[in-house]
Structure 1
Amino acid sequence: MTLQTFRAILPLAFATTLAACGGAPTTGNEASAAASTEPASDRVVTLTPQQIEAAGILLVRPTVGGGAGAIELPATIAGDPQGIQIVSAAIGGRIVTLTRNLGETVRRGDTLAIIESREAAQLKGQVEASQARASLAQSQLRREQRLFAERVSPEQDLIAAQTAAAEANIALRQAQQQLSAAGGGGGALNRLALSSPIGGQIIARSAMLGQTVVADAELYRVANLSTVSLSISLSPVDAGLVRPGAPVSVTTPGRQGTARVTFVSPVLDAQTKLVPVIATMDNRGGQWRVGESINAAIELPGKSGSPEIAIPQIAVQSLGGKTVVFVRTPTGFKAVPVKVGAPSGDRVIIVSGLIGREQVAATNSFTLKAELGKSEGEEE
């Protein structure tokens, strides 16, 4: 994201102030304030959570005691793709019965609707005709077997009867499968029943009694929401730190839960240029709803036994000749001076300045630095 884009997103609310030594104290992360020994370098950027998200600023937690911290970002609850099924009409016809409504619980195989159709009559008629032909062919086969055993009928007639019986059975199975694919059941010759393919809850119903529907028209949508998914988007750099199986902490006002990463896409989303990540979460209690926005914290792997505090290298900025990181405060961010040690892969060790409980800006933290520099230039 360019500086111009960042300023276009936040033209009015992005206010920067300098905290004077004798002025009022700046609201912020108390732990970070205590750790900073250079109050003259504390600089504050006021920003709302919505503006932080719009600016693409990613929040992470430092490594403490060998962990690699966590990536915190907003996410959305989605239904498990394998747990949502559409019930559609395989043939056109008129709906004469609807047995379930929105919110009702169904079991697999429960009848949801009955359709009356001429095509249904043809399919059922084919089944009954095939059953009659198969029954006749079996009767003729038994007769030929008896005559051949008595040496009255030649073997050729027996072979012909066996072939006719086999062909009749094949035609019967084909007719039955066509009827089953259309729905089957329904009672009368011209009626077909549509059943639920899975057990779950009715979450959508577009069908109306007496409505004429075409083939493949959606009538119901059934969802088994005992397991839900989290839809998360990460930058390529951050996605490289996440592996399937990584635990995810899920929070929203009044609720919290845990999930686990099941998929990290090897391909960027064509529109957002971010990496889609999927995590699954138990929802047998029904407290999470599809489409709900939540906060997700993906825990990153680290080396055991290491007491150092580490953060992503992209979170470290140089400001006024000092090395700083931007720590999240209730009103935005504060530039906190730190002393860095040796780098470790994509991360850097923090010798002093942080205690590990802070949230720091990683991706796009340079825009915070640029805005501070701009503000100071204007004041001079």
Structure 2
Amino acid sequence: MPFKVVCCNCGKEARRDEWRWRDDCGGVFDIVLDFQGREFPELVDVKEENIRRYAQFLPVEGLPSVHQGWTPIVKKTIAGVEVNFKLEYLSLGGSFKDRGAYVSTAKAKELGVKGIIVDSSGNAGISFSLMGLLSGINVDVFVPKHAPEGKKNLLRLLQANVHEIDGDRMDVNREAIKAEREGFVYVGHWWNPYFIEGEKTMAYEAYEQIGSSDYVVVPVGSGTILLGLYKGYQELVELQVLNKVPEIIAVQACGYSKICRDLGAKERCLTKSKLADGIAIADPPRRRQIVEAVKRTNGHAIIVEDEEIKESLVELRRLGFIVEPTSAVPYVALKQSIKEGFIKPKSKVLLPLTGSGLKLVDELIEIKECLKM
């Protein structure tokens, strides 16, 4: 598929034969595809039930034979609303970030990269480490020293070079970027446009599995899942498969809520979230894009507290979903949106459950609410 790499800030087009994650002007890059008048059904490889099903929608040659994607959907009716839980936590690396890491690592290998560098609170590092291990690419992962031990141990099992940084996620991001060197490129998902290309495949899958949706509820940290879903649904509209992009409900945790506050949400708490480590990002570089995407879909934003996250973790487990605290964040927003009338009765909602709780058993046991049933 013909494509361009374009700076979102100045509009300049970058070369496609070298790894670029930030323009000289400081802007982020997006991938722009040229569908050349082709239609969705002819571009889908129906023999595949994984991300390679959508290979013609991706700016990469030679995707590896790894079963990523095509995660199941479980349908539940909640207060008269059809809620479709997409079980992203059942992917190989245990989170939705496998999609972006799969496409990014394939692109890095195509360009002859020897090693990749990523900053992460855990899940992105695990996804990149797994893909690097399967692709024969070295992986350096920079994590906060306070990141969950279960995730750090898994990184080491996946043969990543783990660098623990004493600081917050912004500090970790800066240290990872400084580590770029000959043959080793920074692929961090905050900036990396190929990561979003991987995430958009979730929208394609959801369309093929359940058709159109009225709303999508997503947790927001770096914003890659939101932007990926938005881009995927936009492309489905461009291909005349859907009439419109679903309304996006963006959800953040207390203390990490600049995007939601930009969208008019009120923060009701005084302390920072200690549970939603996967979205503990103060000011992501794609902040403006995220806000614009939510506004264009007539969506809205919600900020949630740790006590609400704890309650939702228990409710999700009763529904059969063993997920991490960050995955409970959109479920809080779902219930609130239904209660306040943002989500109408008989509507159809897509809610990705983003990360597995099996990586965090020790941490979940420490949350006393999680021991109740």
TM-score, normalised by the number of residues in structure 2: 0.19
Q: Which has the higher helix share?
A: 2
Larger Rg: 1
Greater relative CO, 1 or 2 (CA 8 Å, sep 6+): 1
Normalised to the residue count of structure 1, the TM-score between the two structures is: 0.19
More strand by share: 1
